[in-house]
């Protein structure tokens, strides 16, 4: 039915003000300057400090009253350039090696801008942005060897993706009634290794099962869960009348990058009818690399996988993701009915099931676009090579550490994380000080971890921009600081 009206010319500047620019030409020119500035920043990121200590007056600028009056966009942008840009954490910098942070990418910057222009809400309804997210879900299902019809969802990060998996496993174990009646005294228990990320225990806590329902199983010398100990723990809990329901395997542990034997975990899960979830926050996208893919054997047998595009995937924050083998179980754990969210066969309210049926969020941004853009722009092969390259750089760092008599490596390098320390008096305090001074110098930013009670300098090579010359700068700086600080007696 054609009910269109003849198009009217642009409305005149009258009536109440909307928030659009009064002078579109000026706004456009300013927009181009802002785009150029941020691209300059990324292009020349290597030349500046990784991070710098934040002056009091900069921080004080963010304790201002709510601005009721307007300012020029250009002035606000100047403030951004002066106060915010130089004082960001610096994870796009090639010598940011702390924690597990991705470096971002240019396709993602631009896609995020386009996504903001569309202002799409991917909670539901019938529009192609939803199909873009579903496209990425199908790509990931194929990558990880999941069946056709698997479901998935973009979320903030792996913390929430793990939580979604825990909730799906919980609903599967206790039945749909539990969504109405609550979990009560369920007796459910879950298993992960002592190297599992702290967000797993937090997810069980938030799921109402208590973080105490997570059994932390010891690891072997390579940091992988000990499957013999896992089997014993499951048998012991069953004998005690408890209900084992979930094994969380880790594919890339935060401390040293260890990957659990996922095939063995799948065997145990299958035999004991437990849900196998894999926390592959940073590691799982190693599947994109031909060289690394074999390390993840068995991941295709999991019920669910959580990972982050914002780590090894190099997407701008944030872009967490959960993949689920069984779409019906996934939806059964989250779908709800509300009259104003009714679905129809045609019109804008069509296209069900909606993505809000697969997680806690109703309104959802278009995170999928930056990932879709990156895969298409760079190609999955190049993204996999960038990931493999971080492992090569880490291996070079490990060799460099092994060559230096003043340095000691503290863990095997499974993937891209190197833990080491400077050998000197009071090594825990010395190495903590080395890391702090290094960060303050802006030269490089590793972080620390504790392995077997020993404080380690932890360099996680996650950023696609990091090269061998960057690890050389890191090693030389650690040696210089180690010598200076041991001489001046940091422990005094």
Ligand X SMILES: *Cc1c(COP(=O)(O)O)cnc(C)c1O
Q: Looking at 223-231, 255-263, 274-282, 285-293, which segment touches ligand X (CB under 6 A)?
A: 274-282
For residue 486, give the nearest of 402, 406, 410, 397 by alpha carbon: 406
Rounded CA-CA distance 418/394 in Å is: 6
Closer CB to ligand X, residue 187 or residue 412?
Answer: 412
In the complex, the smallest distance separating the C-beta of residue 206 from ligand X, rounded to whole angstroms, is 13
Report the half-sphere exposure of 244 (CA within 13 A, side-chain side): 25
Closer CB to ligand X, residue 132 or residue 165?
Answer: 165
Is residue 319 within 8 Å of residue 308, measured between CB atoms? yes
Q: Which distant-in-sequence residues (6+ apart) come within 8 Å of 120 by Cβ? A: 127, 129, 365, 366
Residue 422: which H helix or E strand, with range?
strand 417-422
In the complex, the smallest distance separating the C-beta of residue 158 from ligand X, rounded to whole angstroms, is 3
**Rounded to an integer, what is the distance from CA 70 to the centroid of its chain?**
36
Rounded CA-CA distance 127/130 in Å is: 6
For residue 389, give the nearest of 470, 331, 330 by alpha carbon: 470
Q: Looking at 20-28, 131-139, 151-159, 349-357, which segment touches ligand X (CB under 6 A)?
A: 151-159
Closer CB to ligand X, residue 159 or residue 186?
Answer: 159
In the complex, the smallest distance separating the C-beta of residue 291 from ligand X, rounded to whole angstroms, is 21
**Of 170, 197, 224, 301, which one interacts with ligand X (CB under 6 A)?**
197
In the complex, the smallest distance separating the C-beta of residue 395 from ligand X, rounded to whole angstroms, is 20
308 binds ligand X (CB under 6 A): yes
In the complex, the smallest distance separating the C-beta of residue 441 from ligand X, rounded to whole angstroms, is 26
CA distances 187 to 190, 232, 297, 334, Å, are 10, 18, 31, 22
Strand pairing class (320-324; 407-409):
unpaired
DSSP codes, 249-284? EEBS-TTT--B--HHHHHHHHHHHT-EEEEE-TTTG
Closer CB to ligand X, residue 125 or residue 310?
Answer: 310
Closer CB to ligand X, residue 279 or residue 357?
Answer: 279
Nearest residue to ligand X by CB is 157
225 binds ligand X (CB under 6 A): no
Q: Looking at 214-222, 277-285, 430-438, 470-478, which segment touches ligand X (CB under 6 A)?
A: 277-285
100 binds ligand X (CB under 6 A): yes
320 binds ligand X (CB under 6 A): yes
In the complex, the smallest distance separating the C-beta of residue 176 from ligand X, rounded to whole angstroms, is 28
For residue 278, give the nearest of 213, 228, 211, 224 by alpha carbon: 224
- Which pair of structure tokens corresponds to residue 144? 């990880």
In the complex, the smallest distance separating the C-beta of residue 385 from ligand X, rounded to whole angstroms, is 21
461 binds ligand X (CB under 6 A): no
In the complex, the smallest distance separating the C-beta of residue 279 from ligand X, rounded to whole angstroms, is 5
Output b/e per residue, 239-249; b: 16+ Cβ within 10 A. eeebebbbbbb
Identify the three-state secondary structure at position 323: strand
For residue 152, give the nearest of 141, 168, 167 by alpha carbon: 141
**Of 144, 146, 282, 334, which one interacts with ligand X (CB under 6 A)?**
282
In the complex, the smallest distance separating the C-beta of residue 315 from ligand X, rounded to whole angstroms, is 11
In the complex, the smallest distance separating the C-beta of residue 199 from ligand X, rounded to whole angstroms, is 5
CA distances 136 to 38, 163, 374, Å, are 27, 21, 11
158 binds ligand X (CB under 6 A): yes
Closer CB to ligand X, residue 354 or residue 358?
Answer: 358
Q: Looking at 134-142, 156-164, 204-212, 379-387, which segment touches ligand X (CB under 6 A)?
A: 156-164
159 binds ligand X (CB under 6 A): yes
**Of 115, 140, 171, 199, which one interacts with ligand X (CB under 6 A)?**
199
157 binds ligand X (CB under 6 A): yes
Identify the three-state secondary structure at position 153: strand
Residues in 253-272 that interact with ligand X by CB under 6 A: 254
Spatial strand order in the sheet of 304-308: 151-155, 320-324, 304-308, 275-279, 243-250, 188-193, 214-217
Identify the three-state secondary structure at position 240: coil
130 binds ligand X (CB under 6 A): no
**Of 279, 326, 357, 470, which one interacts with ligand X (CB under 6 A)?**
279
**Of 50, 281, 299, 459, which one interacts with ligand X (CB under 6 A)?**
281
354 binds ligand X (CB under 6 A): no
Number of residues that bind ligand X (CB under 6 A): 14
Closer CB to ligand X, residue 154 or residue 422?
Answer: 154
Residues binding ligand X (CB under 6 A): 100, 157-159, 197, 199, 250, 252, 254, 279, 281-282, 308, 320
């Amino acid at each position: 039915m054609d009910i269109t009206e003849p198009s009217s010319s642009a409305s005149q500047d009258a009536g109440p003000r909307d928030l659009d620019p009064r002078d579109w030409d000026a706004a456009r020119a300013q927009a181009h300057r802002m785009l150029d500035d941020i691209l300059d920043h990324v292009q020349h990121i290597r030349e500046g400090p990784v991070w710098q200590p934040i002056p009091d007056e900069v921080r004080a600028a963010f304790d201002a009253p709510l601005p009721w009056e307007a300012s020029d966009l250009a002035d606000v942008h100047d403030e951004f350039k002066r106060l915010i840009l130089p004082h960001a954490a610096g994870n796009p910098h090639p010598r940011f090696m702390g924690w597990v942070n991705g470096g971002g990418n240019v396709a993602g910057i631009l896609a995020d801008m386009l996504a903001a222009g569309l202002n799409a809400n991917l909670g539901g309804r019938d529009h192609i942005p939803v199909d873009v997210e579903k496209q990425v879900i199908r790509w990931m299902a194929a990558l990880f060897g999941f069946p056709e019809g698997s479901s998935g969802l973009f979320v903030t990060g792996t913390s929430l993706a793990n939580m979604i998996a825990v909730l799906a496993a919980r609903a599967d174990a206790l039945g749909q009634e539990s969504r109405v009646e609550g979990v009560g005294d369920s007796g459910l228990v879950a298993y992960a290794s002592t190297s599992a990320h702290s967000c797993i225990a937090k997810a069980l806590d938030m799921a109402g099962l208590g973080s105490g329902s997570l059994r932390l199983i010891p690891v072997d010398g390579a940091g992988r869960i000990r499957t013999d100990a896992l089997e014993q723990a499951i048998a012991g809990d069953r004998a005690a009348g408890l209900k084992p329901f979930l094994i969380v395997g880790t594919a890339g542990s935060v401390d040293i990058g260890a990957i659990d034997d996922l095939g063995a975990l799948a065997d145990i899960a299958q035999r004991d009818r437990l849900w196998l979830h894999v926390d592959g926050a940073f590691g799982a996208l190693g599947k994109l690399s031909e060289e690394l893919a074999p390390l993840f054997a068995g991941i295709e047998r999991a019920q669910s996988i959580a990972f982050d595009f914002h780590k090894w995937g190099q997407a701008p924050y944030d872009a967490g993701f959960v993949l689920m083998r069984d779409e019906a179980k996934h939806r059964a754990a989250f779908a709800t009915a509300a009259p104003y969210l009714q679905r129809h066969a045609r019109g804008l309210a069509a296209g069900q099931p909606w993505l809000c049926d697969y997680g806690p969020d109703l309104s959802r941004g278009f995170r999928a676009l930056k990932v879709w853009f990156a895969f298409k722009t760079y190609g999955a092969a190049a993204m996999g090579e960038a990931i493999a390259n971080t492992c090569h750089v880490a291996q070079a760092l490990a060799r460099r550490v092994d060559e230096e008599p003043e340095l000691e490596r503290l863990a095997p390098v499974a993937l891209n994380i190197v833990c080491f320390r400077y050998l000197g008096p009071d090594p825990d305090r010395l190495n903590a000080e080395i890391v702090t001074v290094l960060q303050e110098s802006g030269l490089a930013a590793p972080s620390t971890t504790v392995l077997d009670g020993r404080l380690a300098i932890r360099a996680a090579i996650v950023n696609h921009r990091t090269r061998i010359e960057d690890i050389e700068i890191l090693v030389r700086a650690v040696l210089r600081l180690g010598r200076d600080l041991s001489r001046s007696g940091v422990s005094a």
